[in-house]
Amino acid sequence: MAIKKRMLGLIGFVGAGALALGLAGCAGGDTDSGSDGDTGGEGDLVTVGFVAVGPEGGWRNANEQAIKDAFTQEAGFDLKYAPAASPTDQKSQIDAFATFVNDEVDVILLTATEASGWDDSLELAQEAEIPVILLDRGVDSSDDLYVTRIAPDNVNVAGAVGDWAVETFPEGANYFTLEGVPGLSVVNERNEGFEAAIAGADGWNKIGAQTANWTADEGKSVIETVLKENPDLQFVFAQNDEMGIGAAAAVTAAGLVPGTDVKIATIDGTTPALEALAAGDLSFVAQYNPFFGDLAVDAVNAALAGEEVEKNIIVPGENFDSPEAGQAAIDDGKGF
């Protein structure tokens, strides 16, 4: 019940957001990107500088591809993709951001590798009157410095994991949290949502938390160590699928049965996670919906047309809580 209530709240909010964006005007922009000129229609292309994370894992690949699929020349855009030198290299992002400002792109999309350290860049863009839209990751800077943030609600998504965990472990559990890369907004928001959801329940004992940097290898390595020191581990909250799949491998390597001896819940909803759920290796997968290219296009068009844009545009998702739900999600093409 609690999980369903959360989703209904989200959909209502998205409805309002979409309505505000639905009033968006057409694309603005006045620069010719020097493309092949075959724009297939009237007017110049809107140049979009995408300061991205780059190759990182299944969710990132799906999300960045969704942005590329939405910002096409046919749709009136010249998308300039700038992946970070590595998923934790903020300097390369700051450099790419400055280059986009210098090149006077029409709008900048930013998925930050760090939450802090963006004030100077955002102020530079504001002085140049270049709107900035955050995708997925938030930043610590004032929200006066960017148009909006488009992302699923990490607090709610992680809260759904906590709600499920409380229902699954009515007596509480000894648990461990595998965190994403330190310093990210989504890591803090997911901790906030999960911990708030279990706060009122009895018997919850946090063995610890540690980053596994979003990867399966590190997730396996961390949980191998945790199991050696805490054979009474019952539950792992993995903040993304890859770490959760790694944790399941560690449980198996320890001669235990994932889903029986140790339950694992993850966030993202990639196909490998849905397959692991269907196989019983994972017990709960909360979708962190990566498909918001159209919402980003609407926000860009609204920003360039001077329309009002919600400060936070929430992308809805769903949750998968059984092997049958995992298999059905795969059959219905909900993986990525």
The residue from 20, 24, 48, 60 that contacts ligand AHR (CB under 6 A) is 60
Alpha carbons 269 and 272: distance in angstroms, whole number: 8
SS3 content of the chain, % helix, strand, coil (to 5): 45, 20, 40
Of 254, 243, 269, 267, nearest to 329 by C-alpha is 269
* 298 scored as a contact of ligand AHR (CB under 6 A): no
* 334 scored as a contact of ligand AHR (CB under 6 A): no
Query: Can you read off the two tokens belonging to residue 32?
Result: 């010719």
Q: From residue 58, give the alpha-carbon distance in Å to each of 30, 88, 281.
A: 35, 16, 18
Q: Which is nearer to ligand AHR, 80 or 190 (CB)?
A: 190
Alpha carbons 290 and 185: distance in angstroms, whole number: 16
As measured in angstroms, the least distance from the Cβ of 242 to ligand AHR is 7
* 137 scored as a contact of ligand AHR (CB under 6 A): yes
* 56 scored as a contact of ligand AHR (CB under 6 A): yes
* 3 scored as a contact of ligand AHR (CB under 6 A): no
Total residues interacting with ligand AHR, rule: CB under 6 A: 12
As measured in angstroms, the least distance from the Cβ of 214 to ligand AHR is 4
The residue from 3, 112, 267, 282 that contacts ligand AHR (CB under 6 A) is 267
Q: Is 208 helix (H, G, I), strand (E, B) or coil?
A: strand
The residue from 64, 78, 106, 136 that contacts ligand AHR (CB under 6 A) is 136
Structure letter (DSSP) for residue 29: -
Alpha carbons 288 and 240: distance in angstroms, whole number: 9
* 153 scored as a contact of ligand AHR (CB under 6 A): no
* Contact set for ligand AHR, span 189-248 (CB under 6 A): 214, 240
* Contact set for ligand AHR, span 75-134 (CB under 6 A): none
* 292 scored as a contact of ligand AHR (CB under 6 A): no
Sole window of 53-61, 116-124, 300-308, 324-332 interacting with ligand AHR (rule: CB under 6 A): 53-61
Q: Where are the alpha helices (DSSP H) in the chain?
A: 2-22, 58-70, 90-102, 119-127, 154-168, 185-198, 216-229, 241-253, 271-279, 293-304, 323-331
* 336 scored as a contact of ligand AHR (CB under 6 A): no
Alpha carbons 281 and 110: distance in angstroms, whole number: 34
* 186 scored as a contact of ligand AHR (CB under 6 A): yes
Structure letter (DSSP) for residue 244: H
Q: Which is nearer to ligand AHR, 56 or 78 (CB)?
A: 56
* 152 scored as a contact of ligand AHR (CB under 6 A): no
How many angstroms separate the first and last alpha carbons of the chain? 27
Axis-axis angle for helices 90-102, 119-127 (nearest 10)? 10
Q: Which is nearer to ligand AHR, 214 or 284 (CB)?
A: 214
CA dihedral over 186, 192, 197, 198, signed as positive or negative = positive
Axis-axis angle for helices 241-253, 216-229 (nearest 10)? 40
Q: Which is nearer to ligand AHR, 20 or 267 (CB)?
A: 267
The residue from 71, 288, 320, 336 that contacts ligand AHR (CB under 6 A) is 288
As measured in angstroms, the least distance from the Cβ of 206 to ligand AHR is 21
Q: Is 223 helix (H, G, I), strand (E, B) or coil?
A: helix
Report the interface residues with ligand AHR, using CB under 6 A: 56-57, 59-60, 136-137, 186, 214, 240, 267-268, 288
